[in-house]
Structure 1
Amino acid sequence: MSGWTALILAGSRPGRDAFAEEYGAKFKALIHVCGTPMVTRVTQALLGSGSVERIRVLTQDPVAIADVLPQESRVMLGVSQGSIAQTLEHVMADPETRFPLLVTTADHALLDPGMVEDFIAKAQGADMAIGLVEKTPLMQRLPATKRTWLKFRGGAYSGANLFAFATPEAMKAVELWRGVEQDRKKGWRMIAALGPALLMGSLLRLRTLQQTLDKVGGKLGLNIRAVEMGDPLAAVDVDKSEDYVLVTAILEGRT
């Protein structure tokens, strides 16, 4: 599969963004890390991938974002909706949207072309794929880091802010996501929304991550794949001040 469309989610929550203001930015996507806005870094990483043909940056403030994006014909701006799930539903329902879609976020400041290519290669053939990092390699690389972990038989995983949607049919998974996205940092609530059997299977670690996704996919009629990223830094985004300090240290070669 070739000709991927990449979506960069660069929206902001309603009201003041205290985290962005701390670093002199209007909203999080515009925070400079080592002198470059995060959304610019993510766009450059996607432009460096040989598999990505076009990039759509989705935000509530296209004018502010436009000023920091590379002047490249493959990069386009769009308006995001009220939430991540609503934004994805809107894009996937648009007959002009070209699949497959690769979705990431503007705060993925460590994203690089190698991570993008690794994810796309491993996502081939699935209706939907979710990028994840297993706890062991990440803790070996960054022993002091704090992440949200989903625990299963065989390992604990943190999200890598990388998703693949091969066809419009994958919208069924987004509809499910919309019902629990307010609890995206509370892994057990997300699993509970899929049914008591899956919740107990996770709590007791009766199933592996892929077995759990197979169950979810069976309910939705989709082939959903867990993509374990080769680079554990794929799990590190910039969501708070501690992340900013860590990512800056990594980019400067101090960590």
Structure 2
Amino acid sequence: MSAAAPPPGTVTALVLAGQRGPDDPVARHSGQRWKALAPVAGRPMVERVLDALLAARSIDKIAVAAPTPDLLSEIEGLRPALESGRIVMLPTGAGPAGSVAAGWKQLGYPCPTLVTTADHALLTPALIDAFCARSLAQESDIDAALVPASAIRAAFPESRRTFLRFREESYSGANLFALKRPAAADAIAFWQSVEQDRKRPWRIARRVGPGTLLAYLLRRLTLEHAMGRLSRVAGAQARTVILPEAWAAVDVDKPEDLALAERILASRNAEA
């Protein structure tokens, strides 16, 4: 589906720059205290994400939910945006969902808000604008970007990914979400409850319903039906935006991901 780009500067962005615990594998591998500062091809990954957002036509204000307010203070290239207020710093919450809930509230619940992560080191202005355009063209409260497994396996056959497996296709998340209406807050609250129960999967299964869970396990559940069920359970209309770019699913969670991201960036530079 094609869609016209949204008007310039109409979307607020929220970047999650926290990390799970003090022993993050990417931070440890890179010798950094904070994962977001781990260099990818010579530049902190969070700087790559923020540069893409600053250059995207659709993005206005940018907030960074960070474990320390001075996370970006040593990145010279971001100083003008910080001093002008184009980039603002916010504290992290309890987990990713908590950070989204707290950050969106502190920003005043702007709609639409794009949510992404500091480890999305391959992000480009073109992908940001394309996702925003396609998301805003459809009726929903909250959208999530997915990439087909077939595209990822064709481009990166050696990469190990976790897929959501549906009847027609499997998908990987792309760490891009759009909060488009106030009801998205209900979906975020549901996300928080799922995070809290991640070690008690029976509670998650009870929420989605045994029939839906069985259909998923048997690969009989379609993505459309899954999103319909999720919308009813979460209390917000949730839809997806399918992205064809395999690299959109590459985030830097492990040293192997870092190596893959650097190979992709080297290939881009060679083609430029």
Where does the alignment leave 5 or more consecutive residues of structure 2 unmatched?
1-5
1:24 equivalent in structure 2: 31
1:236 equivalent in structure 2: 250
| Structure 1 SS opposite 2:145 | strand
How much does 1:40 deviate?
Answer: 0.3
Conserved? CA contact 1:93–1:168, under 8 Å: no
Greater mean alpha carbon deviation, residues 44-53 or residues 201-210: 201-210
Conserved? CA contact 2:151–2:244, under 8 Å: no
1:119 equivalent in structure 2: 131
Quick one: distance in 2 between partners of 1:104 and 1:30?
Answer: 16
1:249 equivalent in structure 2: 263
Q: How many residues in Structure 1 have an aligned counterpart in Structure 2?
A: 255
Which letter does structure 2 place at the counterpart of 1:32? P
Which letter does structure 1 place at the counterpart of 2:44? P
Matched, 1:75 2:87: yes
Task: Give the alignment of 1:144-159 within 5 angstroms.
Answer: 144-159=158-173
How much does 1:171 deviate?
Answer: 1.2
Q: Deviations over 1:50-99 (max 9, x none)?
A: 11111101111121323226121321111111211111222333473422
1:166 equivalent in structure 2: 180
How much does 1:11 deviate?
Answer: 1.0
Of the three residues 19, 39, 44, the one matched with 1:37 is 44
Q: Deviations over 1:96-127 (max 9, x none)?
A: 34221110000001111121112112211321
Quick one: distance in 1 between partners of 2:227 and 2:26?
Answer: 34
| Structure 1 SS opposite 2:146 | strand
Which letter does structure 1 place at the counterpart of 2:31? G
Q: Deviations over 1:16-47 (max 9, x none)?
A: 43431321212110001111100000001111
1:132 equivalent in structure 2: 146
Q: Deviations over 1:121-149 (max 9, x none)?
A: 22113210011101111111111111001
Alpha carbon RMSD of aligned pairs, Å? 2.5
Cα gap change, 1:186/1:107 in structure 2, threshold over 3 Å: closer, same or farther?
farther
1:54 equivalent in structure 2: 61
1:93 equivalent in structure 2: 105
Quick one: distance in 2 between partners of 1:168 and 1:232?
Answer: 31
Cα gap change, 1:40/1:95 in structure 2, threshold over 3 Å: closer, same or farther?
closer
Matched, 1:4 2:2: no
Quick one: distance in 2 between partners of 1:207 and 1:171?
Answer: 26
Which letter does structure 2 place at the counterpart of 1:164? A
Greater mean alpha carbon deviation, residues 7-16 or residues 27-36: 7-16
Conserved? CA contact 1:180–1:193, under 8 Å: no
Greater mean alpha carbon deviation, residues 185-194 or residues 219-228: 185-194
How much does 1:189 deviate?
Answer: 8.5
1:63 equivalent in structure 2: 70
Quick one: distance in 2 between partners of 1:249 and 1:130?
Answer: 26
How much does 1:14 deviate?
Answer: 3.2
How much does 1:186 deviate?
Answer: 11
Conserved? CA contact 2:146–2:172, under 8 Å: yes
Conserved? CA contact 2:26–2:252, under 8 Å: no
Quick one: distance in 2 between partners of 1:7 and 1:248?
Answer: 24
TM value normalised by structure 2: 0.85
Which letter does structure 2 place at the counterpart of 1:128? I
Conserved? CA contact 1:149–1:156, under 8 Å: yes
Where does the alignment leave 5 or more consecutive residues of structure 1 unmatched?
none
Greater mean alpha carbon deviation, residues 52-61 or residues 76-85: 76-85
